[in-house]
Amino acid sequence: MPKITVINQEGAEKSVDAAEGRTLMEVIRENGFDEMLALCGGCCSCATCHVHMEPAFMDKLPVMSEDENDLLDSSEYRDENSRLSCQVPITAELDGCRVTVAKED
């Protein structure tokens, strides 16, 4: 099972086990990160599950959809490593990844 380090908005870190087949959003919420709002529940219709991925892992993610890209454009905190965590499937390739929950807009 991949292990991912999640960093909350205050900078506190927690390593969590991430079951393959889940999304990063689900893993973050299930591990007590209250700032992960994920208001749409994972259907890619809001940007409240915005995260900053570790740069070394960006090429291990699926290509960003146009919808995800448009939603991220609405965030003043978007950067080159931004993704919506509901669109990031957990795979073995993410083992060791560090991800930071983005600040709320």
Burial of 37 (0-12, 13-18, 19+ CB in 10 A): middle
pLDDT at residue 61, as a whole number? 98
pLDDT at residue 105, as a whole number? 84
* pLDDT band, very low/low/confident/very high, at 32 (cuts 50, 70, 90): very high
Instruction: Give CA–CA dist 57/29, Å, rounded.
Output: 21
For residues 28-42, give the mean pLDDT: 92
Q: How would you write 39-83 as a 3-class SS string?
A: CCCCCCCCCCCEEEECHHHHHHCCCCCHHHHHHHCCCCCCCCCEE
For residues 96-103, give the mean pLDDT: 98
Instruction: Give CA–CA dist 29/36, Å, rounded.
Output: 6
For residues 25-29, give the mean pLDDT: 97
pLDDT in tens, 55-94: 999 999 999 999 999 999 999 999 999 999 999 999 999 9
What pTM was computed for the model?
0.95
How does the average pLDDT of the chain come out, rounded?
Answer: 96
For residues 20-31, give the mean pLDDT: 96
Q: Maximum CA pair distance of the chain?
A: 34
pLDDT at residue 1, as a whole number? 94
Q: Give the domains, in start order, of the chain with CATH numbers.
A: 3-101 (3.10.20.30)
